[in-house]
Chains A and B, each alone.
Chain A
Amino acid sequence: MADLNDNVQRAATIAVLVENEAGVLARVIGLFSGRGYNIDSLTVAPVDEHGRLSRITVVTTGTEMVIEQIKAQLDRLVPVHKVSDLTLEGPHLTRELALIKVVGTGSARQEALRLADAFRARVVDATTESFVFEMTGSGEKLDAFISLMRPIGLAEVSRTGAVAIVRGTSSLTA
């Protein structure tokens, strides 16, 4: 464990396996707001075949002491099965999906398509004056693409927030 006295902030990607029941997301969010922790992003969806378990991925930043607190506080919520700090678990994959709408005509359209191609963003909707691109990748990659689109005619962005999983055989189960 890193030094708890350290004032250095770090980012943590935390996976939480919870009972898929009413109010569980409110409990998690209420914990962050009630205790003044940051939420950089949060995603949730059922993950088992019966729909009884949901996986929440929270990205947060804080000192080592705060992050340890966040994990302990999450872990003591009654519907929480497991809490895993992927940042400490070792190599893991993080992905995010975005839908990006760009509006424009003429050369701007050409430029948008050319950049989309370079970033492997897919066109999922098109009109004579707009595109919707779909893109997955790390948050930084999405950021980069979105900022390139801004001068070209960025109109709207919808992002999922990060989901993450540890590489290799180890897995998070209830």
Chain B
Amino acid sequence: MSPQTLPAASATTSLTGAEIVLRALKEQGVDVIFGYPGGAVLPIYDAIFQQNAIRHILVRHEQAAVHAAEGYARSTGKVGCVLVTSGPGATNAVTGLVDALMDSIPIVCLTGQVATHLIGNDAFQEADTTGITRPATKHNYLVKDIRKLAETVHDAFYVARSGRPGPVVIDLPKDILVGKGPYTEAPKREHRSYRPQVEPDAGQIRKAVAMLKAAKRPVVYAGGGVINAGPEAAALLGKLVRMASLPCTNTLMGLGAFPASDPQFLGMLGMHGTYEANLAMHGCDVMFNIGARFDDRVTGRLNAFSPGSLKIHADIDPSSINKNVKVEVPVVGDAAAVLRAMIAAWDEEPAQQDREAIAAWWRQIDLWRGKKCLDYVQTGKIIKPQHAVKRLYELTKESGRETFISTEVGQHQMWAAQYFGFEKPNRWMTSGGLGTMGYGLPAAMGVQVAHPDALCIDIAGEASILMNIQEMATLAQYRLPVKVFILNNQYMGMVRQWQELLHGSRYSESYSEALPDFVKLAESFHGVGMRIEGADDLDRVIREMIAIDRPVIVDCAVDEKENVMPMIPSGAAHNEMLLASGQESGGGASVTDQGMGLV
């Protein structure tokens, strides 16, 4: 909606536009903004200078401001806030916005704009920001009337956090920021047009419960929606899964929604998911999808996806349901509300679970688990990247510190997902939908700002880390002791892996040539640099890294030619998984011509 009505009653004395913005941010609970100044937003920077309630973190690139706000949002459940200038400031932020859109992260991004009378004149640092960001955001606004400014900010926060969360842009012309107008408080009434359904339909819940209770081979497939619905949703998921003895798998975005150490956890599913998770998905008779979206990285070849199952899909976004995969029982609602309703309805459903069938199903799953699809062999000096992540996990756990992990994009990201166990939601930040290299460092920075005493580690690749390396300066300025742990395989490993499997090992442009000396690089940014050359250094350096209360880069040399396994090649089905050499092959998929055309 556009805030066209003005709740005149609460209008108070006039403030400048910039003051109105800050006051509205404060009312919305913002305590930190990630931003970068420029001509069009100078009035806001002036207002920031004159107050203490909201902290500003000066990033070194606007893309990083958005990723930092994403890390902040995902680790706290609050809306992340960004401030950038017009033109290049706004265009630099676009990658971050699309990233947040794809992963459903609530962000409000304020962009400066040239004065209203200059809009459309190709003025200095003018860009059509609302035009450019329309498909990059959940919603956006251009404020042309200062009387609507406060209400627009309130509206933006409501839209960003309600329903399926997402990024929202408010474009602020400079004359609006310096003009004077009234402040209005957040409206108490319902939104005019955007009112997503939170509580599920009782009839659909009954159908879902009846179907799930009747299952002989059930599986729960939980995604990022459970994380977005807050810690209570994860607790309720745990309750339902345990009381009904259900096997549970998580998507990449859902890791932490169900504890990794729980015996009922099957691991991650999808392209690089576990053998047991993918075969359980393939062989189940009832699938309960909560807060996931049947992404192509999860389903593999659609016409071979879980062919014999009845499917329940609960999602806050009705457009996610029946988009890729047809389901029998759609349930629209917030994940916590859905799970609460299902638990309440469980005992009312007269049918009893077939405990014997479910026990047999678990025996089948245990056979699949027996394949030990994530096993690797670590011998000698050369470090297997899997081993590095495993030790990082075990040693951080040993340290007893509250730990948050972010990643860049590539093989290291998948190894982090496979070998780092997440027990709680909101501890895992990764760019799932967009797959943005350069996400991890700024995201970890945002997490560290929100959790100053926690251990925040970016598990990185040597190629990805260079995409937002400038943020080392931000870490130094604000004394944010983020740890960057580089799995340095000297390759854009994920690209190299695909070239090996799909393009006849022709490693076109995927070698990481002319890398910087990461130790010196860390030092030049006022941090600590460390190197791990062989397996015998691994534990010592990780322990040291954990103990240092400053930004650290660890350059960990790992096996250059290691591939991420298991793998469902593009265009293949879940039961046609490739396993690591030495393990028996799953169904022996090779890449088809059709699969070659897929990404």
Interface 0/1 of A74-93, CB less than 8 Å to B: 01111111000000000000
Check: A122 CB closer than 8 A to any chain B CB: no
Name the CB-closest residue of A to B131: A26
Please, which residues of chain A bring their CB within 8 A of the CB of B4? 19, 21, 52
Check: A34 CB closer than 8 A to any chain B CB: yes
Q: Chain A's nearest CB lies how many Å from the CB of B349?
A: 24
Check: B596 CB closer than 8 A to any chain A CB: no
* A27 in contact with B134 given A65-B326, A76-B163, A78-B1 (CB within 8 Å): yes
Q: Say yes or no: B1 contacts A30, CB within 8 Å.
A: no
Cα distance, A76 to B139, chains bound together (Å): 10
Q: Say yes or no: A79 contacts B2, CB within 8 Å.
A: yes
Q: Say yes or no: A174 contacts B134, CB within 8 Å.
A: no
Q: Say yes or no: B318 contacts A76, CB within 8 Å.
A: yes
Check: A115 CB closer than 8 A to any chain B CB: no
* A19 in contact with B193 given A78-B138, A78-B139, A79-B1 (CB within 8 Å): yes
* A interface secondary structure, majority: mixed
Contact of B2 (CB < 8 Å), options: A19, A69, A76, A77: A19
Cα distance, A80 to B2, chains bound together (Å): 11
Name the CB-closest residue of A to B332: A72
Please, which residues of chain A bring their CB within 8 A of the CB of B131? 26
* A22 in contact with B142 given A52-B4, A79-B2 (CB within 8 Å): yes
Contact of B1 (CB < 8 Å), options: A4, A19, A26, A73: A19
Cα distance, A75 to B164, chains bound together (Å): 13
Cα distance, A144 to B164, chains bound together (Å): 47
* A76 in contact with B134 given A5-B326, A52-B4 (CB within 8 Å): no
Name the CB-closest residue of A to B155: A78
Q: Say yes or no: A75 contacts B319, CB within 8 Å.
A: yes
Q: Say yes or no: B322 contacts A23, CB within 8 Å.
A: no
Q: Chain A's nearest CB lies how many Å from the CB of B329?
A: 13
Q: Say yes or no: B194 contacts A75, CB within 8 Å.
A: no
Q: Say yes or no: A21 contacts B322, CB within 8 Å.
A: no
Name the CB-closest residue of B to A26: B134
Q: Say yes or no: A34 contacts B135, CB within 8 Å.
A: yes
Cα distance, A118 to B322, chains bound together (Å): 48
Q: Chain B's nearest CB lies how many Å from the CB of A66?
A: 10
Cα distance, A81 to B195, chains bound together (Å): 9
* A78 in contact with B134 given A65-B326, A69-B322 (CB within 8 Å): no
Task: Apart from A65-B326, A72-B323, list 13 A-B contacts with CB within 8 A.
Answer: A4-B326, A19-B4, A23-B134, A30-B135, A69-B322, A76-B164, A76-B317, A76-B318, A76-B319, A77-B139, A78-B138, A79-B1, A79-B194
A-B contact pairs, 6 of them (CB 8 A): A65-B322, A65-B326, A72-B323, A75-B319, A76-B164, A78-B194
